[in-house]
Amino acid sequence: MALAQVRPGTTVAELDARSRYFRKLIVDALEGGKRGHVGSALSLVEIVRVLYDDILDVRPGEPDWEDRDRCILSKGHGCLGLYAVLADKGFFPMDELLRQCTSGALLGGHPEAHIPGVEASTGALGHGLSIGVGLALAARMRKRSHRVFVIMGDGELGEGSVWEAALGASKHHLDNLIAIVDYNKMQCYGPVNETTVLEPLADKWEAFGFSVREVDGHDVAALQGALTRVPFEKSRPSLLIAHTLKGRGFDFAEQNPEWHHKSKVTPEDVALMREGLARV
Amino acid sequence: MRQAAINAVYELAKRDPRIVFVGSDLGIGTLEKMKQEMPDRFYMEGVSEQYMIGMAAGLAMEGFIPYLNTIATFLTRRCYEQIAIDLCAHKLPVRLLASGGGAVYAPLGPTHMADEDIAILRALPNMAVVAPADAPEMKRLMEASVAWDGPMYIRFGKGGDPVVSSDERGFAIGRAIEMRRGDDVAFVGTGVMTNRALAAAELLAKDGVSCSVLHVHTIKPLDSNAILAASARARLLVTVEEHTRIGGLGSAVAELLVDEGVSTRVLRLGFADAFFADYGSQDDIMRNNGLQPDQIAARVGEALGLPLPALG
């Protein structure tokens, strides 16, 4: 397949075996639960993979461990990406993935705080960064050294509460707060820039007091490099713009709004995705 | 009442390191002593209610007990989703201190009045809703609030409200207080309307109508037993609230009676289903809505079909 672009003039990193493995888990979950936000989960796989593989100090067997790094998936609809990684890490049994969204299941269509490894219930957009500010302030007040990570979507940045929280984070100089934008440039209706003009996005966050870096959000090494260097600056909250592709890994779904959310995943969809996996 | 609550935050914070104050853009000098003595537990976060609620949720997730204060209507309408999800779904011990419940901000117009706050907050699972009658009762509530498991909405009156509560009657969240005994009519009031109900009961007594008054400072969880007991004795149960008749105390009482199959007649007094079309004072708005003691007494007399010469 032709290499897709994350930004004009750039190409997206190839997916390695572990990234393909997480996509297989997501397809398994879609087949089991027969629904899910497909594209929104696929764009953030490498972000959550790198966080949980390399960055976050967490204990899957002790999810409420007091000194853990906190991570909130504020774009809660991307939860299949998070669930795949949490299941792989052993926060809950892998079987739970296959039952997602069904009656009696542990996992629903958006993350909830009762799920091991999930810090806060999200799904209504624009909540995560405010909660993150509270968590980061609390860490400072209690003289703890853990960090707080918040993953937001680009469409989510239309919520005014995100910018209220940004004002608070920079006022309090929260350098233990790291926000990540999964900038896949597509929202439910189509291209983000046709619905909400976000550019110049890095400048906006800089103006709000964040120290900003940009990275190819599918490049594992680049994500590792950026996220191991947080805070980007002392006394300022960090913001990483991860340039991604919605539906990354499946050529038919990439940047295709039809794959933003599937409320009825058919056997044909599953077959298409399994064939797609073989091509990646 | 507001001053009693704000002062209580400082006093409680001195004793309990979990207590944090979060304000929006409050009057200069608010809790200055707390700011000086406990700067890491005093936050003034600006005109950003949605963020304030989320931030307080984050603090509460880490073991703190935040007390938030701003104007009631901004603290409820503006950030309802944050209250529902960040506070109620997570069942976090955040206290919402709501300045100017009901018609307190009458001169400022309908954008500043909170006339449906009880209805919308009461609809949320895990949320407690409390409206004290006066400043001493506010103080008792603030003491009791620290140990409450879950979010709580605390509605303030205007300040300088007549004191009708007393230490002797005690205070427990969720337990209504019998303020007056009587046989014919059972008043059920909340917030500062309890003092109007007591005054109306006094007027009715002059006409030989014996009234009880039950003060329901906690609208949720509702003290079902106390309300059922009051309704069992009376010919007419009258709910009195500084709130739209939709969804508040009167609705909560009516729901209870219907659920329990109680057929006591209910007169629900409150604001009309309309945005306020007048300014003036809280008392003016009360009078416009038939909620002053003489009006309440007259409406009760009318409901009972009694000629009430003393009111005449």
- pLDDT, averaged per 10 consecutive residues of chain A (280 residues), comes to 62 88 97 92 97 98 98 97 98 96 95 98 97 98 98 97 98 98 92 93 98 97 97 98 95 88 92 88
Average pLDDT over residues B3-17: 97
| pLDDT digits 0-9 by tens, B243-254 | 999 999 999 999
CB-CB neighbors (< 8 A) of B55 in chain A = 130-131, 133-134, 137, 165, 168
Single-letter amino acid code for the residue at A277: L
User: Which burial class, exposed, middle or buried, applies to A184 when counting CB atoms under 10 A from its CB (0-12, 13-18, 19+)?
Assistant: buried
The edge-to-edge listing of strands for the beta sheet with B265-271 is: B177-180, B211-215, B185-189, B236-244, B265-271
Check if A167 contacts B (Cβ < 8 Å): yes
Interatomic CA distance for residues B75 and B96, integer angstroms: 8
Q: Strands, DSSP E only, in B72-110?
A: 95-99
Question: Residues in chain B whose beta carbon is closer than 8 A to a beta carbon of chain A?
Answer: 40-41, 43, 45-46, 48, 50-64, 81-82, 85-86, 89-90
CA distance B145 to chain A (A): 21
Cβ neighbour number for residue B17 with a 10 Å cutoff: 14
Nearest CA to B91 out of B158, B21, B152 is that of: B152
Any B CB within 8 A of A145 CB: no
How big is the A-B interface in CB pairs under 8 Å?
A: 93
* pLDDT score recorded for residue A277: 87
User: Closest Cα of chain A to B283: distance in Å?
Assistant: 36
Partners of A262 in beta bridges: A36
Verify whether the Cβ–Cβ distance B56 to A168 is below 8 Å: no
pLDDT of residue B309 exceeding 70: no
Please enumerate in sequence order all residues whose Cβ is within 8 A of that of B233, keeping only pairs 6 or more positions apart, or say none: B183, B186, B212
Supply the pLDDT for residue A2.
Answer: 44
CB-count burial class (<10 Å; 0-12, 13-18, 19+) for B216? buried
Interface with B, mutate which of A67, A112, A125, A131 (most B CBs under 10 A)? A131
Output the pLDDT for position A189.
87
Judged against a pLDDT cut of 70, whether residue B6 lies above it is answered with: yes
Q: Identify the pLDDT of residue B238.
A: 98
At B71, which helix (H) or strand (E)? strand B65-71
- The helix/strand/coil state of A101 is coil
CB atoms under 10 Å from CB of B34, counted, come to 21
The distance of B32 to chain A (nearest Cα, Å) reads 19
Is there a contact between A243 and A7 (Cβ–Cβ < 8 Å)?
yes
% chain B with pLDDT above 90 = 96
Return the sign of the alpha-carbon dihedral for residues A164, A166, A169, A170: negative
d(CA B310, CA B289): 22
pTM of this prediction exceeds 0.90: yes
Partnered with residue B212 across adjacent β-strands are B186
Token pair, residue B285, equals 């708005």
Residues 123-142 of A with CB under 8 A from B: 124, 126-127, 129-142
| Residue B32 burial (10 A CB sphere; 0-12, 13-18, 19+) | exposed
